[in-house]
Structure 1
Amino acid sequence: MLDPHRLTILRAVIAAGSVHAAARNLHLAPATVSQHLRALARETDLVLFEKKGRGIMATPAAQHLAEASADTLNSLERLERTVEDLRQGRAEQIAIACFASLAQAWMPEVLIALRAQFPDAGVEVSINELQPGRGRRVPDVDVRIESLDGPPAYLEGYDRHFLFEEDFCVVLSVDHPLVAHPVVTMAELRDEPWIDHDIHDSPTGRIITRACHAAGFSPHYVARLDDYHAATSLAAAGLGITVLPRIALTGLPANLAVRPLSDPTVHRRIVAHTRTHLARARLIHTTLTALREAAQRIQRPTTDV
């Protein structure tokens, strides 16, 4: 069996670019790092590094080995944290994955509900929009976005719970001519400069793009970002309009207005997936209950923002 510690050192050397840099990062002596690399080469019967000038270069075999070991090493790290939690008496743990706007809007009250019933429990919240399931722990509750046009998604080992359907609005300057319209059609945004808040093309971005295509145009983006706060800041500076889900409309600058969209309306489905885990069943149930209560309390914001 391969030594996980040596695999970790291999990954560190590849990432740092040299034995000496990796040794500094790992707080080890360079000789110790080199010794582990030689031992790993003997274990695998692979050439892991080759000379390059005055330094070394990882071979394709080393690169592939480092990539293939990532999931195993992550799992071992999770196991080590579990052991430490048990040793420190922190047996109750729950991992929640969700998208960024929900994390900001709902996670405070979800965590308040958890702490009220489980004051010593540890809670991890990770953002799943870009890398689903890649938190420090396997998520016990995974809140995701679905398009209304697509089939419901089911995750293996999880139960699926519908939470709510959410519509999108256009966010624009208060002095924009479209503010005079109580509802803005998608076609009226055809010639507007757009600010994209989803440069990585997550489900939310794809929903907005499909709505534009349904209205017969492709948006003209003057700026593309991966954060909706930054997008609203650019809109507040008068650089263009942006389209956001209602859950992301809190705390907008005073010089921005919000209007509903039509023809087509733009919606998304929010669902929670809960893992079957007997030891954490109470924590998972409390989290799901808090999410459902938050969904029921959603109020449509005024269009006079």
Structure 2
Amino acid sequence: MLNVHHLRTLAEVVSSGSFAAAAASLGYTASAVSQQMTALERATGLVLFERGARSARPTTAARHLASRSLGLIDQLTAVERDARSLAAGARGVVRVGSFPTASAALVPGAIARLLRRAPDVAVLLDEGEPDDLVAALESGAVDVAVVYRYPLSPRRWPPDVVATPLLDDPLRLTVGADHRIVTRPSWGLADLAGDTWIASRETSAGAQNLARLCADAGFTPRVAFRSDDYTVVRELVRAGLGVALVPALADALGAGGGVHQRAVSDARGAAVRREVFVLHRPDNSAPLVPVTVEALRRAAGGLDRRISRQRPTCAPETAS
């Protein structure tokens, strides 16, 4: 197989008119150019130069070979440029998995940050709950996964993934604007024991977390409505159909009025929250993975500050 570097040198010699000029252009010595051309003649079996005492004139064969090589050299240069971009994380495809609330409040800012840094990157987004996303990560269907867990419902991540903390997402006890309890100077979780509750699907970590909180407060919540979409949950609360625990992340983009909210703590006095992480597999060597994790981490930092500045409409209260 012909040496592409020799072909590139040949094209430069033919274009510039001499070994010396080609050497200056390519950063070689004239002797190195001469050696490359001799090697190319041996490889092709062609006489490429009519050599004189002080000159080397390209033959017709040399001009033809140089002409045919130009397109190949351009293609190779493009491939080399793409390879450098891929290695630097400036080009390629990254597949992101996320749960719906983060897909709305966190992921868009991270993707925008990533694309400002590397506009040639293609980002694919898929949604799911943590169990689905962890399975997709382990199967290779996604490169990174944004997931959550509740401290009251411990979840262990697989040993073959790296978990990077992004933010703490406090939960807020949420009731309608006209709810009877909002006129009280102090109220908490136990005061809503007789109310209708709105929760996520029964097998979800959010529903299990609610059940444990309520059990610690001495009651079992009567759940009439279930949805994993916190926009739906909030609208049901706003309509006066029940009460709910709503993550602050769900309100991070501004959900408007119509409800009263109160920070809530568990029976030990700890703030009730869920923890948000980004997971990736350390054996995934794609350069875009650490770049994407960093974009998510930075976007989460800004979002965490925004959540911290937002205050529930009522003063914090403990669960009991």
Which TM-score band applies after superposition, normalised by the shorter structure? 0.5 to 0.7
Which has the higher mean CA deviation after the structures are superposed, 133-142 or 155-164? 133-142
- Aligned residue number for residue 173 of structure 1: 176
The two structures have a TM-score, normalised by structure 2, of: 0.60
Quote the residue 1:304 is aligned against.
Answer: 313
TM-fit CA distance, 1:204: 2.1
Q: Tell me by how many angstroms 1:294 deviates.
A: 2.9
Q: Following TM superposition, by how much is the alpha carbon of 1:257 offset from its aligned partner in structure 2, in angstroms?
A: 2.1
For the pair shown, the structure with the greater C-alpha radius of gyration is 2
Aligned position for 1:285: 290
Q: Which residue of 1 aligns with 2:132?
A: 131
Candidates 234, 237, 241, aligned match of 1:235: 237
Q: CA deviation at 1:303?
A: 2.1
Give the SS at the match of 1:191.
coil
- The residue that corresponds to 1:185 in the other structure is 188
Q: Say which of 241, 253, 263 aligns to 1:260.
A: 263
Question: How far did 1:146 drift?
Answer: 1.7
Corresponding letter in the other structure for 1:234: L
In the TM superposition, residue 226 of structure 1 has moved relative to its aligned partner by: 3.2
Q: Which runs of 5+ in 1 are unaligned?
A: 1-85
Change (3 A) 1:95 1:217: same
The CA distance in 2 between the partners of 1:118 and 1:252, in whole Å, is 32
C-alpha separation in 2, matches of 1:259 and 1:295: 23
Q: What is the CA distance between 1:102 and its match in structure 2?
A: 0.7
> Which residue of structure 2 aligns with residue 161 of structure 1?
164
Q: 2:80 aligns to what?
A: none
Alpha-carbon shift at residue 181 of structure 1 (Å): 5.5
Question: How much has 1:246 moved relative to structure 2?
Answer: 0.8
Q: Does the aligned pair in 2 maintain the 1:183–1:260 contact within 8 Å?
A: no
Residue identity matched to 1:119: P
SS of the aligned residue for 1:131 comes to helix
Count how many residue pairs are aligned between Structure 1 and Structure 2: 216
> SS in structure 1 opposite 2:261?
strand
| Residue of structure 2 in register with 1:111 after alignment | 111
Alignment partner, residue 273 of structure 1: 279
Residues of 2 paired with 1:277 and 1:122: CA distance?
A: 21
- Which SS does the other structure have where 2:274 is aligned? strand
RMSD of aligned residue pairs (Cα, Å): 2.8
**Matched-pair contact (CA < 8 Å) for 2:197–2:242:** yes
Q: Is the 8 A contact 2:161 2:281 kept in 1?
A: yes
Contact 1:145 1:203 in 2 (8 A): no
Deviations 1:219-275 (A, max 9, x none): 112322232211111111111111111101243242122211134442222222122
Q: Do 1:101 and 1:247's aligned partners in 2 also have CA atoms closer than 8 Å?
A: yes
Residue 201 of structure 1 aligns with which residue? 203
Deviations along 1:38-70, one digit per CA (max 9) or x if unpaired, are: xxxxxxxxxxxxxxxxxxxxxxxxxxxxxxxxx
Change (3 A) 1:174 1:124: same
Q: 1:154 deviation in Å?
A: 2.9
**1:109-128 CA distance string (max 9 Å, x none):** 11111111221222122222
Task: Return the alpha-carbon distance in structure 2 between the equivalents of residues 182 and 139 of structure 1.
Answer: 48
3-state SS of paired residue (1:211): helix
Q: Kindly tell me: are residues 267 and 184 of structure 1, through their superposed partners in 2, closer, same or farther at Cα, counting changes over 3 Å?
A: farther
* d(CA) in 1 for partners of 2:246, 2:185: 17
Q: Please list, as runs of the form range in 1=range in 2, the aligned pairs for 1:27-176 lying within 5 A after superposition.
A: 92-129=92-129, 131-132=132-133, 133-134=135-136, 138-149=141-152, 153-176=156-179
Q: Percent identity among equivalent residues?
A: 25
Relative to structure 1, the CA distance from residue 113 to residue 303 in structure 2 (aligned partners, 3 Å threshold; closer, same or farther) is same
- Is the 1:145–1:204 contact (alpha carbons within 8 Å) kept by the matching residues of 2? no
CA distance in 1, matches of 2:143, 2:185: 41
AA of the residue aligned to 2:250: A
Alpha-carbon spacing, 1:176–1:218, altered in 2? closer, same or farther (3 Å): same
Provide the rounded CA distance (Å) in 2 between the counterparts of 1:204 and 1:214: 16
In structure 2, what residue type is equivalent to 1:239?
Answer: L
Cα displacement (A) at 1:291: 2.2
User: Residues 156 and 235 from structure 1, CA distance in 2 versus in 1: closer, same or farther, beyond 3 angstroms?
Assistant: same
Corresponding residue number in structure 1 for 2:220: 218
Distance (Å, rounded) in 1 between the aligned partners of 2:183 and 2:123:
45
2:58 corresponding residue in structure 1? none
CA distance in 1, matches of 2:230, 2:284: 37
Asked if structure 1 preserves the Cα contact closer than 8 Å seen for 2:115 and 2:121, the reply is yes
Shift in Å at residue 184 of structure 1?
A: 4.1
